[in-house]
Amino acid sequence: MRNIPLNQPERGHVTHICSNCGRTARKMRGNYLFRESGLKNIVLVNAEIIKCDKCGNEDPVLAKMDDVMKTIALALVNKPSALCGEEIRYLRKYLGMSGDTFAGYLHTDKSVLSRWENNRELVGSKSDLLIRAIVLSLGRGLLPEAEHVVRQFSKIDESQKSVMVEIDPENLEFEYELANV
């Protein structure tokens, strides 16, 4: 991970309110594990964070939420190893599809998709590539990246590996780091 100091206060004094306890909180810069995405491997790097010293709650400040979500989707379809269940679920939800609809695009049963999404069954390599291609084709703003991503398909490791995905929420860039998540 980049060496960015965590919990560094920003200059100036603006009062912020904790979304958890309602007390006064402060705005900081730091790395934030973005669990709200539904993924356990997304870190917002050098993000603005509202931190409450009383209850410990932290909330990211994201001016470009839709763009951050798109960047996460792009990072997942570019992932150099097989998709895991949570990532497949994120991509399906990013497309705004129900399990039935997404399973139909994949020519599989929704119960199979559910087993993939819940990590009860590994997704096959061809289905993994089809998921990525569908997301690239139908995901908002991803089509311009499709050719580059598809040309990298042959380099994807078919085994599932946990990687941390570091997202810069301001520049909308991402990078990977092998991790134990």
In the numeric block, the tokens 């570091």 are attached to 166
CA atoms within 13 Å, Cβ hemisphere of 118: 8
Per-domain residue ranges of the chain: 65-162
pLDDT number for residue 1? 42
pLDDT number for residue 13? 54
pTM of the model: 0.87
Mean pLDDT by 10 residues, the chain (181 residues): 47 76 92 95 95 93 95 97 97 98 97 98 97 97 96 94 93 84 45
CATH 1.10.260 matches 65-162: yes
| C-alpha span between 115 and 99 (Å, rounded) | 11
In the numeric block, the tokens 């129900």 are attached to 98
CA atoms within 13 Å, Cβ hemisphere of 6: 8
Q: How many CB atoms lie within 10 A of CB 97?
A: 16
Task: Give just the sign of the alpha carbon dihedral 140, 67, 90, 142.
Answer: positive
pLDDT number for residue 11? 54
